Amino acid sequence: MKILRVAAGVLNQTPLDWEGNVTRIQRAIAEARQAGVGLLCLPELCIPGYGCEDAFSSLHVAETSLTLLAELAKHSKGMAICVGTPVRYERSLYNGAALLVDGTLVGIVCKKNLAGSGVYYEPRWFSPWPAATKAVLETEHGDVPIGDLVFDVGGVRLGFEICEDAWVAGRGATGLTEAGVDFVLNPSASHFAFGKFEVRQRICSEGSRIFGATYIYSNLMGNESGRLIFDGGAIIASQGETVALGPRFSFAPVNVTCAEIDLEETRSQGRPTTPGTQSGIVSVDFDWQFADSYHCRPEVAAFEKSPQLKKEEFARAIALGLFDYMRKSYSRGFVISLSGGADSSATAVLAWLGLELAHQELDREAFREALSYLPKEWVDDINELRKGLICTAYQATKNSSTKTTSAAKALADSLGATHYYFDVQSLVDGYTERTEEALQRELTWSEDDLALQNIQARARGPMVWMLANIRRGLLLATSNRSEAAVGYATMDGDTCGGVSPIAGIDKAFLLEWLNWMEEEGLQTSKGMLKAAGLMLSNQLTPTAELRPEAQSQTDEKDLMPYPILEAIEEEAVRDRHPPVDVWKRVVLRFPEVSQKQMARWVVRFFTLFSRNQWKRERYAPSFHVDDESLDPKSWFRFPILSGGFKRELEELRNEADLT
């Protein structure tokens, strides 16, 4: 037996935070060394941060990364370590994985397949490295091999797949099998999306089978640069089976996941090498510290998709995203305009969850470190921290009900938040009266419905912005994705905020999630985290409460039933179907609805969708959670000015016989 301890490191990095990023890399190396690890894989572009965006085009980013890489090499004594870094070769920038061995930079492998769809824009900054091409990079520390490389390090062969390289078709044709690699290292920056971890685990286990090698996958963790949330989840697989899994949605800055691999056993199950492949391998002298028996072999349960997985992932992802956004922006907590309705209630609960989950997971010292910029007396008392970091405000007008007033207060009290009640009717009256004076006529609900609704929402904006400024907090916008799709939101009203935590999720799911958080809750190592204070909110019918009570305003009456809105949005936005096809598909999904009524709703959706792109362009940054996102900065781009589907909707009206 030749037992080698290997590890995948997960890091919570921040773009261009040179000192912080290097410190966390060094910490991961130190933890791995303490655990007796010989081979460590760290994430993609972890030196500068993955989300540097157009800063990658600045020459100093690659230069600084290379300088810091040379410093990090000194920490690799007695180890082999993969570190993600950008690298310039000749006149192009490449996404590289540097291999440090025993104090020396021995080579840099460059990514061949760049991620350029959806949330990714790698081809904007990087060039793809041509397969089977090798070169020499001149550095102040000497010449370094660069390109599509395989390394023989002290008789152990290392190959690489850098994130997207593992997701493309034909990954088995990369030459790694023929070269007889013992380990495939995958430094990744793979963002969170619902159900994606299951796919990742398959890629890793299948990769270990395809290449006849042990597969080591590392990832980023946390809200790295604003819109994307990384869920960690290090994976080590061998012989087609997962042998180690790292934590997901962790609040720790560093996680190191280890496994012990019997090199001889793995080789006996692998495929024979192909003659003629030896010449392209970079050889490095190194003495591995092998053991002749296992120290421990933890059992790893197979990934199981629970019925509540989406709700759990949503809770953990957004909570982590908000907590990281707060601390990385040095905000002193969150401010939420809490109406008592579903959207603002969900936003408040998610902010609370981030605080609670971090406090549960991190020990006292780590928790203090994460929030070191806050007053010490807050951090040391969880009750004071809740009060200091979560601020809610109910802003009443004459159309507000006692039910929503009570629901907002009950939730705020249950979360331990600081809660304010403001009556803003005088502000609404002031705007209305001055407008009436200017127009020389009375504003009425029959003539000015939209304006009279919106002024109430807009009158609330300045108050919560003032609270956020006074408290130096982060104002959270409360619009969801379903309403963003059809523009059912008041600009400078419920869209006020620095970040929109629920703008990536549909209202139908959000309503289910709120009931789940009240009745079942999130399982943690310390027990169940439930939001019992949601009881009154969950009893309410969703309504903007912007019209007089006698009009019995509800969201679904203004729009359409939320499950139908979500279905139409799926077919139209996610699957890119034209109006007639959308109509035919959703009719099958909701046979209880008449075809004409469904056609009217489809017409309404497409009309409002095209008309309200300007609103989506102005939304505060939202978190990406799935491939139905409407965020034009990171996922779905649509023209602000367009033909509004006139031809397509006329075709639908004719086919549905709408008059």
Helices (runs of H) and strands (runs of E) counted in the chain: 22, 23
Nearest-10 Cα torsion for 235, 238, 242, 245: -30
Average pLDDT of the chain, as a whole number: 95
- Looking at 35-163, list the stretches that DSSP marks H as alpha helix, in order from N- to C-terminal side: 59-73, 122-125
Residue 587, amino acid: V
* Exposure string over 303-314, b if 16+ CB within 10 A, otherwise e: beeeeeebbebb
Which two tokens mark 349? 């609960």
Work out the burial of residue 606: count CB atoms within 10 Å of its CB; fewer than 13 is exposed, 13-18 middle, 19 or more buried: buried
Say if residue 321's pLDDT is above 60: yes
Q: How many CB atoms lie within 10 A of CB 554?
A: 14
Q: Rounded to whole angstroms, how far apart are CA atoms 71 and 287?
A: 22
End-to-end CA distance of the chain: 79
Same domain, 521 and 597: no
Q: Rounded to whole angstroms, how far apart are CA atoms 72 and 65?
A: 10
Same domain, 588 and 524: no
* Pairing verdict, β 3-11 and 241-245: unpaired
- Looking at 212-246, list the stretches that DSSP marks H as alpha helix, in order from N- to C-terminal side: none
Per the structure, how many domains does the chain have? 3
Percent of the chain surpassing pLDDT 70:
97
- Is there a domain that residue 80 lies in? yes
Of the candidates 41, 42, 44, 47, the one whose C-alpha atom is nearest the C-alpha of residue 21 is 47
Same domain, 614 and 542: no
- Is there a domain that residue 291 lies in? no
Same domain, 445 and 511: yes
- Is there a domain that residue 301 lies in? no
The angle that helices 595-611 and 646-656 make with each other, rounded to 10 degrees, is: 170
Domain span holding position 622: 560-659
- Is there a domain that residue 630 lies in? yes
Q: Rounded to whole angstroms, how far apart are CA atoms 651 and 655?
A: 6
- Is there a domain that residue 289 lies in? no
Say if residue 1's pLDDT is above 90: no
Chosen domain end from 506, 529, 550: 550
The tokens 């001889």 sit on which residue?
A: 264
φ, ψ of residue 64 in degrees (nearest 5): -65, -40
**pLDDT tens for residues 468-491?**
999 999 999 999 999 999 999 999
Say if residue 420's pLDDT is above 90: yes
Same domain, 342 and 196: no
**pLDDT tens for residues 214-250?**
999 999 999 999 999 999 999 999 999 999 999 999 9
Query: For position 487, which CATH number holds?
Result: 3.40.50.620
Same domain, 572 and 485: no
The distance from CA 550 to its chain's CA centroid, rounded to whole angstroms, is 42
Percent of the chain surpassing pLDDT 90:
90
Task: Give the predicted TM-score (pTM) of the model.
Answer: 0.95
Of the candidates 303, 330, 169, the one whose C-alpha atom is nearest the C-alpha of residue 246 is 303
Query: pLDDT-derived band of residue 146, with 50, 70 and 90 as boundaries?
Result: very high
- Is there a domain that residue 304 lies in? no
- Is there a domain that residue 566 lies in? yes
Same domain, 108 and 20: yes
Query: For position 590, which CATH number holds?
Result: 1.10.10
- Could you tell me the CA-to-CA distances from 214 to 5, 39, 219, 246, 285 in Å, in that order? 12, 12, 17, 16, 21
Same domain, 345 and 484: yes
Work out the burial of residue 437: count CB atoms within 10 Å of its CB; fewer than 13 is exposed, 13-18 middle, 19 or more buried: exposed
pLDDT of residue 277: 55
- 557-579 average pLDDT score: 96
pLDDT of residue 368: 94
**pLDDT tens for residues 182-221?**
999 999 999 999 999 999 999 999 999 999 999 999 999 9
Chosen domain end from 515, 550, 585: 550
Which two tokens mark 450? 């939209």
Query: Which helix (H) or strand (E) covers residue 291, if one does?
Result: none
Chosen domain end from 498, 517, 550: 550
Same domain, 335 and 467: yes
Of the candidates 362, 464, 375, 376, the one whose C-alpha atom is nearest the C-alpha of residue 418 is 464
- Is there a domain that residue 299 lies in? no
Which two tokens mark 273? 């090498």
Same domain, 576 and 488: no
Which of helix, strand or coil describes residue 614?
A: helix
- Could you tell me the CA-to-CA distances from 634 to 58, 126, 420 in Å, in that order? 22, 18, 35
Q: How many CB atoms lie within 10 A of CB 491?
A: 18
**pLDDT tens for residues 254-303?**
999 999 999 999 998 766 666 555 557 999 999 999 988 888 776 676 66
pLDDT of residue 47: 98
Say if residue 68's pLDDT is above 70: yes
Same domain, 408 and 435: yes
Same domain, 592 and 474: no
